[in-house]
Amino acid sequence: MSPNAIVRADGVFEIGLGLLLVFGSALSWLDADDFPTPVGRAVIVVVGVALIAVGVFLWRLASGAVPAQLLRYLALGNAVTAVAAIVRRVVAEGFSDAGSAIVLVTAGALLALAAGQLSAIPRARRAPRQ
């Protein structure tokens, strides 16, 4: 996958997850019963909106040259976030089945994105600078 495509994929994932959280909360699919304290409806919505903003930012970044260093930072951020999510899921009590599924699927997707970003670094180094 090209450096631009993997950054775009990350952006699409962030937007999709953000929309799931915002609409899930608005439609009462997700609420405080799905995640451990202190996560409530307001936190779910705020995180969802933030993820949408991050996703749009990543999508726009992917329209230009994607430097190898950006891919490294994105891979590190995605991997650290995935590990933190897994640890939180294992350690904390209070996840519903839906909340647990969201956290674990998100962690898996973030690890896959990180792997894709790391594998795209050599192609980013060879790409002509704009």
Instruction: Note the pLDDT tens digit of each residue in 107-116.
Output: 999 999 999 9
Q: How many domains in the chain? A: 1
- Specify the residue for token string 């996840």: 95
Cβ-in-10-Å burial (0-12, 13-18, 19+) of 90 comes to exposed
- Specify the residue for token string 């995605």: 78
Instruction: Provide the residue range defining the domain that includes 9.
Output: 3-126
CA atoms of 51 and 56, how far apart (whole Å): 9
- Of the pLDDT bands very low, low, confident and very high (cuts 50, 70, 90), residue 127 is low
Dump pLDDT digits (tens) for 54-89.
999 999 999 999 999 999 999 999 999 999 999 999
- Specify the residue for token string 């609420």: 31
Cβ-in-10-Å burial (0-12, 13-18, 19+) of 128 comes to exposed
